[in-house]
Amino acid sequence: MAKSRNNLLGVGGQRKKLSRAEQQGAGSARGADRKAAEDKKQELVRKMRERAEAQAATTAAAEPGEQDASPAQS
């Protein structure tokens, strides 16, 4: 690395070597794998949100009955 702070020559990471297919724009299997992994993640997040909403709905349905009983006891 250069001594001078103003000269950032040599700073940064290494670039990935591109295959001939990638250079020509054909892409790689790695990109497809990333897409599949992202799709799986999105599906998992969607399922978790649905479960959380269902749990919140059942909890909210149970709470109003308990809240009505509380002021009557006071």
pLDDT (0 to 100) of residue 69: 54
pLDDT (0 to 100) of residue 60: 85
Q: Are 10 and 1 in contact (CB under 8 A)?
A: yes
Q: Round to whole Å and give the CA distance between 25 and 7.
A: 34
pLDDT (0 to 100) of residue 55: 92
With 90 as the cut, is the pLDDT of residue 9 above it?
no
Q: How confident is the model at residue 29 (pLDDT cuts 50, 70, 90)?
A: confident
Instruction: Give percent of the chain with pLDDT exceeding 90.
Output: 28
With 70 as the cut, is the pLDDT of residue 22 above it?
yes
